[in-house]
Amino acid sequence: MAGVGLAGAGLAGGFAAGNATARTSAPSAGPAEGDGAFAFTGEHQAGITTPVQDSLHFATWDVTTQDRDEVVALLRAWTLAASRMTQGLPAGEFGPMSGPYDAPPDDTGEAEDLPASGLTITFGFGPSFFTAADGTPRFGLDGRRPDLLADLPHFPGDMLEDARCGGDLAVQACANDPQVAVHAIRNLARIAFGTASVRWSQLGYGRTSSTTTTQPTPRNLFGFKDGTANITSEESAAVDEHVWVAPGDGADWLTGGSYLVARRIRMTIETWDRAPLREQETIVGRTKGSGAPLSGGEERTEPDFEAAGRGGAPLIDPASHVRLAHPTSNGGARMLRRGYNYTDGSDGLGRLDAGLFFLAYVRDPATQYVPMQNALAKHDLMSEYLRHTGSGIWAVPRGVAEGATLGGDQGAFVGQELFA
């Protein structure tokens, strides 16, 4: 296990001896809320179309080794640890309270008495994983970077902080208990020590979308229902069309995977709280109560952008968020949103550092994300209340096959097709 560092050395016995056969149930089955476990393996990684959980810990890493074998060893170790933690088991076979007394425990312990809590761990590769800043290919992956995995362009109004952007590897850990999500990222960081270092991370609470029709629509920090028109897992044709990379899309190793876009969007909460209700609803294009479009009906009624009120003015403002983000304004493009509220304390000026950690999965970021973000940044009435402070894009490979053997020197791992 050279390459997974000191902590990895302590775990070597665990990974070498701890071969595990992955569970075989479909990843779509699992708890929308509560204690249960989602299957780690399946055609697609869990944590995308699986029901959104309550809490998030998202982290990105920069790989510090130059050695391809060490990167593969890390991915293998991460895969085994993730498969265990998602089932409510310690990251390593010994757990936090046993194993060699003179070695660091192979699990940190804070999730010891907690159930799986619907934990999903979803892995992605960023553009910088494939290509160094000077353009040199990394890890022998020449020609393997998908054309669509390009750094996002600068958008109008971006106020990005370098320390909240990018990363060679990204992991989205979601759970119904925040301690379980944090435990997952902490243990992956411990395992990566010496091979990859954490670049930045973000905690989130309170989901801002639903990914199944059975989940109620939650609210964001503007107090509006968020996720009403999201793609749900039940819309299998829409999921295939808008979320999963298909054969012929450009990078065969990514077939069955997706692209993840993350944006840390700070909301100027105090200014919003002084805006009249009429203005708030005009900006969103929906009512604050039921979430119905301002053209009438109920939450799930399709907005009618032609409907006009007295004097002929459109009931839904052409510059409202819902109008500009709607598929009819974006050539039919949709995305699977999976974001969270965040509050990182206050900023020293008495203002909350709070907002929405936007996460979206798309099949093609160039057509599904970039034009929409450009249109929103230029025209969305909501932009006045938003500051994009963090950003990143990652290619999220397909899932590890059901029944695959994990661990050891030959075990299956997430992203294996990339290194084939």
Residues that bind ligand HEM (CB under 6 A): 220, 222, 224-230, 263, 265, 267, 284, 286, 321-322, 325-327, 335, 355-356, 358, 369, 372-373, 376, 386
Q: Which is nearer to ligand HEM, 67 or 378 (CB)?
A: 378
**Between β-strands 20-21 and 340-346, what pairing exists: parallel, antiparallel or unpaired?**
unpaired
Q: Which is nearer to ligand HEM, 113 or 306 (CB)?
A: 306
Angle subtended by helix axes 178-192 and 68-85, to nearest 10: 160
Q: Which is nearer to ligand HEM, 86 or 228 (CB)?
A: 228
Q: In the bound complex, what is the minimum distance in angstroms from residue 243's beta carbon to ligand HEM?
A: 13
Q: Which is nearer to ligand HEM, 41 or 230 (CB)?
A: 230
Strand partners, 198: 61
Q: Which is nearer to ligand HEM, 96 or 293 (CB)?
A: 293
Q: In the bound complex, what is the minimum distance in angstroms from residue 228's beta carbon to ligand HEM?
A: 4
Q: In the bound complex, what is the minimum distance in angstroms from residue 325's beta carbon to ligand HEM?
A: 3
Give the helix ranges, DSSP H, for 225-354: 236-242, 269-272, 277-284, 321-325
* Residues 335, 157, 321, 278, Cα dihedral to 10°: 150
Which helix H or strand E contains 68, and what residues bound it? helix 68-85
Q: In the bound complex, what is the minimum distance in angstroms from residue 396's beta carbon to ligand HEM?
A: 17
Does the CA dihedral 174-179-183-186 come out positive or negative?
Answer: positive
| Rounded Cα–Cα distance for residues 106 and 190 (Å) | 9
| Rounded Cα–Cα distance for residues 326 and 333 (Å) | 8
Q: Which is nearer to ligand HEM, 266 or 398 (CB)?
A: 266
The tokens of 127 are what? 């553009």
Q: In the bound complex, what is the minimum distance in angstroms from residue 223's beta carbon to ligand HEM?
A: 9
Q: In the bound complex, what is the minimum distance in angstroms from residue 178's beta carbon to ligand HEM?
A: 21
Q: In the bound complex, what is the minimum distance in angstroms from residue 334's beta carbon to ligand HEM?
A: 6
Instruction: Please compute, for residue 292, the number of CA atoms within 13 A of its CA located in the half-sphere on the CB side.
Output: 9
The tokens of 61 are what? 């890493």
26 CB-contact burial (10 Å; exposed 0-12 / middle 13-18 / buried 19+): middle
Q: Which is nearer to ligand HEM, 59 or 229 (CB)?
A: 229
Q: In the bound complex, what is the minimum distance in angstroms from residue 240's beta carbon to ligand HEM?
A: 18
Closest C-alpha to 54, from 174, 197, 144, 171: 174
Distances (CA, A) of 23 to 36, 196, 257, 403: 14, 28, 20, 6
Q: Which is nearer to ligand HEM, 70 or 226 (CB)?
A: 226
Q: What is the DSSP string of 120-158?
A: EEEEEE-HHHHB-TTS-B-TT-TTTS-TT--PPPP-TT-
Q: Which is nearer to ligand HEM, 41 or 373 (CB)?
A: 373
Q: In the bound complex, what is the minimum distance in angstroms from residue 317's beta carbon to ligand HEM?
A: 13
Q: In the bound complex, what is the minimum distance in angstroms from residue 19's beta carbon to ligand HEM?
A: 42
Q: Which is nearer to ligand HEM, 43 or 299 (CB)?
A: 299
| Rounded Cα–Cα distance for residues 193 and 196 (Å) | 6
